[in-house]
Amino acid sequence: GAGVSQSPRYKVAKRGQDVALRCDPISGHVSLFWYQQALGQGPEFLTYFQNEAQLDKSGLPSDRFFAERPEGSVSTLKIQRTQQEDSAVYLCASSLEPAGGTETQYFGPGTRLLVL
Amino acid sequence: GQNIDQPTEMTATEGAIVQINCTYQTSGFNGLFWYQQHAGEAPTFLSYNVLDGLEEKGRFSSFLSRSKGYSYLLLKELQMKDSASYLCAVRAAAGNKLTFGGGTRVLVKP
């Protein structure tokens, strides 16, 4: 069906506020990734799910960041007590096969988060 | 650790050819990807190399030398719509995550 979708597309938060970012991967895709992209930089890995299992969260910058994918489809990235340095575009990507395969990752349009 | 380098910006003329180089030093290797990203949009897949050599796909070609830790993306017959950032990304042997370079912003001038 359609590609990866993300919502909201834009989010303005006051410092200290909690935010939740949603990702709808391509239907049937096993793998789901979250990346953070600062302005003018390449994306940086945050976390990886294979179905509902979070297999790698080594890129999460602090314990204020939490991600889940409870039913192996939609995923939510939650940031607690947002700080100004959290301002970035948060990209979600999905791929058909699990880790180790040669599958391409397909990206969503991202959520642009601005923390004031 | 992972280190991926590519030029920050390049300028070329419509109809010309541009080559974007990418060098990498990674603890493992299981493929190199090139993505195109227009401002404010999602990265879109261009090419994938896992073996040495050249992969050609229309106006875009990508080359890989694993022994040198080197890849390039070649854009031929440049069009104005090719103005975008081009991201080089390496997948480590362990796991499926991609490590990206900083991106090369290509500006195509008339």
Instruction: Say whether the peptide bond before residue B7 is cis (omega within 30 degrees of 0).
Output: no
- Rounded CA-CA distance A28/B58 in Å is 29
Token pair belonging to B68: 């040198």
Backbone angles phi, psi at A59, to 5 degrees: -90, -5
Q: Which of A25-39, A101-115, B64-78 has the lowest mean pLDDT?
A: A101-115
> Can you say whether the dihedral through the CA atoms of B55, B56, B57, B62 is positive or negative?
positive
Interface contact B7, partner A, CB < 8 A: no
- Comparing CB atoms, the residue among B45, B50, B99 nearest residue A106 is B45
Q: Which of A56-70, A97-111, B9-23 has the lowest mean pLDDT?
A: A97-111
Write out pLDDT tens, residues B39-70.
989 999 999 999 999 999 899 999 999 999 99
Which residue has tokens 């493992």?
B28
Average pLDDT, chain A: 93
Interface of B with A in 8-67 (CB under 8 A): 30-31, 33, 35, 41-45, 48, 50
Write out pLDDT tens, residues B8-50.
999 999 999 999 999 999 888 889 999 999 998 999 999 999 9
Residues of A in contact with B4 (CB under 8 A): 42
Q: Which of A105, A111, A113, A114 would you mutate first to test chain B, the one with the most B CBs within 10 A?
A: A105
pLDDT tier at A94 (50, 70, 90 boundaries)?
very high
Mean pLDDT of the region B89-104? 86
The dihedral over CA atoms of B55, B56, B62, B65, expressed in degrees to the nearest 10, equals 30
pLDDT, residue A57, reads 93
